Chains A and B, each alone.
Chain A
Amino acid sequence: MTPWLLLHYKLPNKPSALRVYTWRKLKRLGAILLHEAIWVLPDQPRTAEQVQWLTAEIQEMGGEAYSWRANTILGQADESITQQFNEQVDKVYSDLLKKLEKPKADLQEISAQYQQAASQDFFHSKLGSLVREKLTSKRGGKS
């Protein structure tokens, strides 16, 4: 069983900046919006803290927010949700692998993007380790 965090919130329609702000925060955290209805994250110490603060912040902004810890009733749903999280980071990782193939790859930029993706890589995607290996093997100087 994978423990999950669920978040559901309502914000006033205006100003729309608050909605955009909240949406971007959740994306930055690596959350997935299931069926345009509920945000999901794996229940880990860091994600749980962030969801706690975001729930409080949405209320402070005049919205309503509820967050839960949850388990799926049918275990196979875990796999499908986990896969969605992996697909999300794998998309970035594949892109980085392609960039790394180029002769004049911008290693600093790729490193920054790798770190960003790695912070959302909750289930340790294999592609992530590959990007990391390729990046570290590309450092200059004598080995």
Chain B
Amino acid sequence: MKWVTWKNIGVDRMACAWLIRRWIDAEAEFFFIPMGEKPVPENGAPFDIPGERYSHHGGHCTFYVLLKENKINDPLLSRIAQMVDEADEIQEVTVEPAAFGLDLICRGLRRISKDDFEAMERGNLIYDALYAELSRNQV
């Protein structure tokens, strides 16, 4: 499937692209369109674009919404969703101190990548690493 989002990805969309590729659609193809642009290319599933199904809802980030809408139940992914929520949404309750650092790293990652495709590939590594470390501590 074609997945479409705005250019200049950060913490939430890197997490989403990783989740889509690893858990939802192994054949996923990604397209990055200029910020603010609508409608999105035909047959594409938009994500993290305001007003779309896969975007922020009820004060949760798009990653959280993707998990919920696709009925993915994995406690580690739920923890990552909490981190992304705290990094990318305004939260009164914060229980994941890694969130702030994750946001900074993803912003920097985009900054040092030549385009969104490269940033997305590198983002996969970050989230693979995060997931691996979380599973190690899960007893």
User: Knowing A24-B92, A28-B90, A28-B92 touch, does A53 contact B107 (C-beta < 8 A)?
Assistant: no
In whole Å, how far is B68's beta carbon from the nearest beta carbon of chain A?
15
Residues of A within 8 A of B50 (CB): 52-53, 55-56
In whole Å, how far is B40's beta carbon from the nearest beta carbon of chain A?
16
In whole Å, how far is B128's beta carbon from the nearest beta carbon of chain A?
25
- Residue count of chain B within 8 Å CB distance of chain A: 14
Q: Does B57 contact A (CB under 8 A)?
A: yes
Residues of A within 8 A of B57 (CB): 57, 60
- Find the A residue at minimum CB distance from B89: A53
In whole Å, how far is B136's beta carbon from the nearest beta carbon of chain A?
27
In whole Å, how far is B98's beta carbon from the nearest beta carbon of chain A?
14
Q: Are B56 and A56 in contact (CB under 8 A)?
A: yes
Q: Are B90 and A25 in contact (CB under 8 A)?
A: yes
B residues apposed to A, CB below 8 Å:
10, 50-51, 55-59, 88-92, 107
A residues apposed to B, CB below 8 Å:
21, 24-25, 28-29, 45, 49-50, 52-57, 59-60
